[in-house]
Amino acid sequence: MTVNLTFEIPDALATVLPASGLDRKLLEALAVQGYRDGTLSLMQVRLLLGFESRWEAEDFLSDHNAWPDPRLDEMAEDAESLRSALGR
């Protein structure tokens, strides 16, 4: 199943924005931001953008510096690991 989204933009912008490829750029921007804020999983990004493998999705996200925001418990675990490694 697919869903079509419609955006309204001012006429003045419609003439400035290139029609070719704009839909893909918007979809990619949605995927990047959705992954960053945790709305979309890696698998959902992969499906949204039509990548055949998780590696393609990871490469795409890496190219766009898109990393999910760390959770507080992940940061606490990382801090504890660092303290242990430093012997403190």
Q: Is residue 5 part of a domain?
A: no
Place of tokens 């804020």: 37
* Structural domain for 45, as ranges: 21-86
| Residue range 15-26, pLDDT digits in tens | 776 666 677 888
Q: Is residue 7 part of a domain?
A: no
Q: Which residues make Cβ contacts (< 8 Å) with residue 4, sequence separation at least 6? A: none
Q: Is residue 65 part of a domain?
A: yes
Contact 45, 60 (CB under 8 A): yes
Q: Is residue 42 part of a domain?
A: yes
Return the pLDDT at 20: 61
Q: Is residue 63 part of a domain?
A: yes
Q: Is residue 2 part of a domain?
A: no
| Residue range 25-67, pLDDT digits in tens | 889 999 999 999 889 999 999 999 999 999 999 999 999 998 8
Q: Is residue 56 part of a domain?
A: yes
Q: Tally the domains of the chain.
A: 1
Q: Is residue 15 part of a domain?
A: no
Q: What is the Cα–Cα distance from 7 to 31, expressed in whole angstroms?
A: 16
